[in-house]
Structure 1
Amino acid sequence: MDDLETGKIKKALVVDDSAFMRKLISDFLSKHPNIEVIGTARNGKDAIEKVKLLKPDVVTMDVEMPIMDGLEALKEIMANHPVPVVMLSSTTKEGAENTMLAMEYGAVDFVAKPGGAISLNLKDIEEEIVEKVAAASGVHISKLTRTHKPKPVQKSVVATRKETVSQIAKPLKPKINKNKGVFVKNAKTFVIIGTSTGGPRALQAVLTNLPAEFAAPILIVQHMPVGFTKSLADRLNTLCTIHVKEAENGEPILNGTAYIAQGGKHLKMKKLGQSYFIQLDEIEPSRSGHRPAVDVLLESAAAIKELNYLTVIMTGMGSDGKVGMEVLKKNGQTLTIAESAETSVVYGMPKAIVEAGLADEIEDLQDIPKKVMGILKF
């Protein structure tokens, strides 16, 4: 059971170079019955000292600060005094890129400031800040310090790959897992991944271990606001042998490519002739506060009945994916992998799948790539 559910008070440290922001964030967190703000820090250097001295259970860390920025402070804290950290970032291109690095360095989650460095309208995201800090305060340090270090790869193969119709979802002969999910022999197979809190590092651990010749497309929903998903895709693309990109409306769905849903838009699939294409939808409302939502992608997949789907639900708060998976299980052919409680940074989304009896396999994060390739007979 989560410490917050048992009533245990969690100690928070607020780090920001703006006194106004420190006060505002502290006031937000102090309203939570199980969070106590035990201190503040005005830059990264100050934060490191306060973490050592005060031993907080959770830290909010601004990315952009003088003397020592949030990234440098985060690296030192995670190396020497690891603690769950939630980053606060601007929505600029540089801010988004730095935020992706922060996730890689071990931050649990981030919140996008709606109004720049000093956000007078921070009140608009008060609920999000409190929710994410509360969730982060219950994360076990072992799940943050476990590292996955893929080697940088040459992108020449990817760069010269011609994205032709002939590459689109070639038929596979997947292994049929009796008494579990069902695949149709020789049907085209798509991989779908859904994740949220802790997802960027989980995606890195999985995607970097797939081979360049991976003969299936991958559609990904990672809960993330507008302006951050492209930086995530670009970062992963530098680390992977497969091609990783932010999904674009109307583009063909190709083998060996991972498409990450754009922030603020639902990711869907559509079929034209014998080919499959990306459809982005910014009109359909959010699902449980999320757009993109895993549920929407899975429901879209369920409407294309001739395909096989290998679905992977990984770390994240909430239960997004459960409703969509019920629809897909009822109407389509799917095998479903849920990340284990042991490796999930937040065991919410995979837990919902497991408890609903929708998971065919439960795997530790580091074992998911091997399981995926085994099912697809690589």
Structure 2
Amino acid sequence: MMKNRILSGARVVIAMLGGCGLTVAHAQTAPVPAPAQSAVQTIPGMPPVIDPHNIYSETRPSNIAPEVAKDLPRIYVPNLRSADVSVIDPATMTVVDRFPVGKSPQHVVPSWDLRTLWVTNNAEGTTNGSLTPIDPRTGKPGQAIPVDDPYNMYFTPDGKEAIVVAEARKRLDFRDPHTMELHTSVETPECKGVNHAEFSIDGRYAIFTCEFGGMLAKVDTVNHKLIGYLKLTGGGMPQDILASPDAKTFYVADMHADGVFTVDGDTFTQTGFIHTGVGTHGIYPSRDGKFMYVANRGSHKIHGPPHSKDGNVSVIDFATNQVVKTWPIPGGGSPDMGNVSADGKLLWLSGRFDDVVYAIDTDTGAMKIIPVGAEPHGLTVWPQPGRYSIGHTGILR
């Protein structure tokens, strides 16, 4: 009986391989390989970690899902003050569409299943916040869903819940990832200005930055509990946060410290600091997982000034934690947040105080500057390679 089961399984594999043009004669006696076992014990329902040394291994250019590959190639730019989204065609480097959304759109967030792009309209902390869905196949918005104070949004790595970051409320709202119905909330009373997050390699916890508290908050994402806080030494305004390829180190951009703090996520301790530039803000990994791009906004102020001569982008080598390149913005600028193109050749960043978007060559640092709406913020690049999104401007794994 066991022999018959093995032969039956082999025939299924042969049928599948025959469609790929492989020689059936050679496939008939080949053993059926056992599924690869991940060395990381993830939470139930979370896709396995393919390479524990590089959590970004599945976001290389060749790993675009078939359905995602059919989506329009576009850059979606939420404009905070003009309350709309500018849509850029990367082929022509021009704005090809612009549509209104809710008040104070902050980020465009790809859903866990990569089929919806959500605009987080937090209405400056009022009860009039909303989430506007964008269909990435057509590039058009749908009907907004009322949601309280959605400054930013993430998804648990198992895809079961969206986490709406209610910044003004100092609260994390765990919601249905499709309907946005509220499941439960986690209060973070000491985390003033809670906004950006990164997850552990196994999906069991996330670390959130507290912009106006100079600290971090660690949250149990399975049991929906606050674990504790970490005050950053010498920090003042932590912003974006990103995990190293092996997920052992969390990098925290601090706009007042002018650099990136390193933190051990498991022990929740500060381990170092890397100076980058004035107003350190957004952090994004390269497609090969070797470097991270750090946007230095050029100012310690929340609302300006434009054309800062200190605005630039730092490139940090993950292996050495050293800045290996610095790209200044010609004429001054305010690089804020964004993402990397699917092929890894362009870094797209909003110019927050200059009402522009920068398309930066990741080899030379040369850039194209594209005018958009008023005060662009967390833009996303689409499509992107990867299996699922954990949120923000499209951090995929």
Structure with the bigger percentage of helix: 1
Structure number with higher relative contact order (C-alpha < 8 Å, ≥ 6 residues apart): 2
TM-score range, shorter chain: under 0.3
Structure 1 length-normalised TM: 0.28
